[in-house]
Structure 1
């Protein structure tokens, strides 16, 4: 099957694979990121999916939602396809860790209103007990452990009428700027995005995948599980925690299985540079790696350079880097580059950028911002850059909001008509052209290349100038070795009628006991003044691993801001230019935020 083959739904895709490649291995899962623990051929997955679907059909669940709670492994994949085979809308979610607050899970369940919860035998009792102890509504739902179901049930499966516009699953957004919302993704959305990725990545029957990204997130699910199925590309999977504990496991798996496609956010490449030892390099062969995709957070040119230099001796080629851009609201991918081309890197004037202007810098300097392009927009996508206030198209020299129209754009947010209208039905003010999806991301287009500069909600505006938090965060983490890379948040708070800068930054575990707070804070303040001309209102140093992040590794800046205001950060030490003013401000701001939240809740009711 090639990328031009037309299907109307994902059930047809898996059925096709099972019919034509029954015994070919589709998925391999590595226990502890190293040992083969499970495998699915296309035929086995087809039968498992039918058996699970038959069980769901016996519960009269067609058109209902099923909450999927699984530990890393292949049971999740079978359950996901079991839902599709049964005409049930899948709702993937992170299974809560031990002693973890279940508030996010409860919020998703309240929004999605599932009729059944699918899980594994090993999790069933724990989850049921936890939900009862916390008096969660999900405790009263029907629970089904799918790993003990017999494949004999497949004989009872009844095929469903499934069309291109049939809803396949709800992808709950990562919540980097607010509460998670359920993006309604149809079979047509998934197939169009799969065709797009297949073409952009240049996948062939000889391609091989290696994925550690969580399957509960769009990049891990659509890029790591559904795309390989669509292209008939075998993929090796491992748990994200196993990669995070020992990054070398990712590279060893690529080397061992001769993977051609693999990737992750910027922090993953940076982690490998910092954690992989010279001795470990000697046994790696990365020459098979053709597409090293990177997305989900700002792609840093410095990281690309360091990774390419570090692993060149292992056969890694810089041309393999594949910066790309996407989001849950567009199913996954929006833009990507040429498979064999080097990443496009621009040096732009930082002062001009603060005024939403793009001016190429002749040479690098303190006022220069280096930005990596996220590739070209596919021909059947329409992507425009729009002034978010006037709703008119920007010139190529202006930064604006990225708007997208494409068959990959999802159907909206589940049960949120007002939010759907606001985000998915945007029209230009002058030409009334539309509808477009408003991504909420800022960027610009030059020579067909799409560049991302930040999120609208995260931009810090001080004295009328725009400051991008990721630039400030990079400055902060480089200012002192005690600070964890990729684990800081910069945001603004209003104090006496003006916006003031706050820094929340994790400390490396090895520095916690011997931390010289004055030295660290002094280094941060000095670096931020020198690089950005900004005074810091407050700096909060927090414990290792405590800063709020999304499932794809993005910093949840708005969650950090809320935690700062409520005093709920896991603080090691904090500093402010005027402690009394800060304490008074936090008290007043918390009261204001509480009132606003009550008003918002009342409005929604």
Structure 2
């Protein structure tokens, strides 16, 4: 029985040596790809050598910032921190954008960082930034590629306990400053076993992916779980994937991948960008698990991908929708392996009253041959409302051993099956809290029900349980409350997207003319699935209590050819107003990249709202209510 993560992974390393490895596929000039391999034994040797250097600096139990591009050097640095009992803080490399540097600086201040680990290519840039920021005398950079390795034989294992901190997973700060989730060795052991049991993982598992290493799905799912299982993992960078999405499928084919994991938008990108010609030669039949999580899972995506890639070996039962977050290390729930997704139709109006009422004929949830048993896709979008007031939801599966409860966020009373409330979680995967924030940790990680049961983690997410399946309906802070009805921002966004093929992603939020527009509002989820427990959403009102919603909608101007943009804005406005019976809707059409996002791709509705109100968003066309136009002018 292991009590720390280092002992477990080193036993696996000794068992498998370099027969198991991490393989990084890098893009070379001329659209060529290079295979870079790091065997487990070599990783161990390099990590031990760097651990000795870190120990010599007296960094035990201190936080160290890891700023690396995607690749093998990050893996070595992260495990060196684990070996030295140094608290690793993975973060995205900042660029010249002041906002990105600003986030990096906030992490440095919050975690009291004195040392940054990086590679040769980025050392000079980071040094220059530290000097310009006035931090050079306090924070130093260590190029982990430049110096000669220390003798790995000089490493003496520190004392590890289950509660020893392993790393800080900073949330991406979509609603507030980033917060460092404290993940300990006991959390890693518990969640490693949760994932292993759900995916039925073994040393024969072969993973393929592209999710960034600073994202909890990437760090835990792509780099820590392979060492927990003692299995191979093949990965590329998110940028390389976005440039050429078919590479992901080519790697699954070439390396006979058995598991892959990505947010829903990754699968949609593959659907849009992989051509019929590129399908030739692909073989996805080796896959047994295809995880979809970290953001709302769309039934339309699951169905379309199963149909499109069915001829090259994709089977619907491969799908494993899942739910998790940094605050629970990673996994909370997932569909049992081989069962495929459970998709059900619910009465949309009842859901606005927090009651889940299944619609007749919609109980046959699992995908079968690319189509829903129980009916075809209604309205063309999951999470939205189609004909007859139906909202289609994809189950996030079932817990493995963690305890999941649905609780009224106001009264803290547990809600019965089929009633919507806040998702609370308890178990060994729940992290220790937020670094340096004892009061916020107590509120979020120490919640108790009205009868004193706990402590539970308040996820800030809303959902319900039906027939043992967890259905996530949205976030507390994304609620738009209209005439006593709870409407989720992503439902509005899905309806807008379904209005025309030119519609891409959009951000929906409310504006209340009766309050300071910089206060309240709907906000994007915190971090990478993180908990930001709050109370209630935003009651939208304008012009003497008139409810109002704004949608900033990115569009493809090429796909809009033949439809005047002003007409397109009005079309989207009418679709959303009719679907949700909203008295006032405003639509702004904008170019790709307008909607604000976190470094890991999560939508930031609050920041998009602020950008709209301050005139930072360049509209290609719009259809605004008069009151909104006036309120916007007041901010510019």
Q: How does 1:395-474 map to 2 (within 5 A)?
A: 395-429=416-450, 431-474=451-494
Distance 1:239 1:514 in 2: 37
Show CA shifts across 1:335-364 (max 9, x none).
012101121111100000011111011156
Q: In the TM superposition, what is the alpha-carbon distance from 1:25 to its structure 2 partner?
A: 3.3
Identify the range of structure 1 (155-164 vs 523-532) with the bigger mean alpha-carbon deviation. 155-164
Distance 2:594 2:432 in 1: 34
Counterpart in the other structure of 2:367: none
Residues 461 and 467, structure 1, Cα contact 8 Å, conserved in 2: yes
Secondary structure of the equivalent of 1:23? helix
Secondary structure of the equivalent of 1:284? coil
Secondary structure of the equivalent of 1:288? coil
Distance 2:550 2:230 in 1: 48
Q: How does 1:320-399 map to 2 (within 5 A)?
A: 320-363=318-361, 365-378=387-400, 380-399=401-420
Show CA shifts across 1:1-30 (max 9, x none).
xxxxx3222221332133222222320000
Counterpart in the other structure of 1:120: 119
Does residue 103 of the first structure (1) align with residue 102 of the second (2)? yes
Counterpart in the other structure of 1:596: none
Q: In the TM superposition, what is the alpha-carbon distance from 1:554 to its structure 2 partner?
A: 2.3
Q: In the TM superposition, what is the alpha-carbon distance from 1:240 to its structure 2 partner?
A: 0.7
Distance 1:100 1:30 in 2: 30
Residue in structure 2 matching 1:27, options 7, 17, 22: 22
Secondary structure of the equivalent of 2:249? helix
- Residue 483 to residue 130, structure 1, CA distance change in 2 (3 Å): farther
Does residue 506 of the first structure (1) align with residue 554 of the second (2)? yes
Counterpart in the other structure of 1:567: 615
Counterpart in the other structure of 1:524: 572
Show CA shifts across 1:370-394 (max 9, x none).
101111112x311110111111011
Secondary structure of the equivalent of 1:54? helix
Residues 382 and 404, structure 1, Cα contact 8 Å, conserved in 2: yes
Distance 1:325 1:138 in 2: 40
Distance 1:383 1:589 in 2: 43
- Give the root-mean-square deviation of aligned CA atoms: 2.0
Counterpart in the other structure of 1:585: 631
Secondary structure of the equivalent of 2:121? helix
- Residue 288 to residue 84, structure 1, CA distance change in 2 (3 Å): same
Q: In the TM superposition, what is the alpha-carbon distance from 1:85 to its structure 2 partner?
A: 1.1
Residues 374 and 451, structure 1, Cα contact 8 Å, conserved in 2: yes
Residue in structure 1 matching 2:509, options 477, 484, 491: 491
- Residue 254 to residue 140, structure 1, CA distance change in 2 (3 Å): same
- State the TM-score, normalizing by the size of structure 2: 0.87
Identify the range of structure 1 (47-56 vs 124-133) with the bigger mean alpha-carbon deviation. 124-133
Distance 1:401 1:589 in 2: 34
Structure 2's unaligned 5+ residue stretches are 362-377, 379-386, 515-540
Looking at secondary structure, tell me which structure has more helix per residue: 1
Q: In the TM superposition, what is the alpha-carbon distance from 1:509 to its structure 2 partner?
A: 5.8
Residues 52 and 149, structure 1, Cα contact 8 Å, conserved in 2: no
Counterpart in the other structure of 2:10: 15
Residues 345 and 373, structure 1, Cα contact 8 Å, conserved in 2: yes
Residues 53 and 150, structure 2, Cα contact 8 Å, conserved in 1: no
Distance 2:556 2:131 in 1: 37
Identify the range of structure 1 (393-402 vs 284-293) with the bigger mean alpha-carbon deviation. 393-402
- Residue 287 to residue 360, structure 1, CA distance change in 2 (3 Å): same
Residues 265 and 553, structure 1, Cα contact 8 Å, conserved in 2: no
Distance 1:179 1:547 in 2: 19
- Residue 572 to residue 158, structure 1, CA distance change in 2 (3 Å): farther
Residue in structure 1 matching 2:36, options 35, 38, 47: 38
Residues 173 and 181, structure 1, Cα contact 8 Å, conserved in 2: yes
Identify the range of structure 1 (218-227 vs 103-112) with the bigger mean alpha-carbon deviation. 103-112
Structure 1's unaligned 5+ residue stretches are 1-5, 591-605
- Residue 44 to residue 150, structure 1, CA distance change in 2 (3 Å): farther
Does residue 47 of the first structure (1) align with residue 45 of the second (2)? yes
Residues 188 and 329, structure 2, Cα contact 8 Å, conserved in 1: yes
Identify the range of structure 1 (546-555 vs 509-518) with the bigger mean alpha-carbon deviation. 509-518
Q: How does 1:164-175 map to 2 (within 5 A)?
A: 164-175=162-173
Distance 2:91 2:424 in 1: 28
Residues 570 and 623, structure 2, Cα contact 8 Å, conserved in 1: no
Q: In the TM superposition, what is the alpha-carbon distance from 1:257 to its structure 2 partner?
A: 0.5
Aligned length in residues: 578
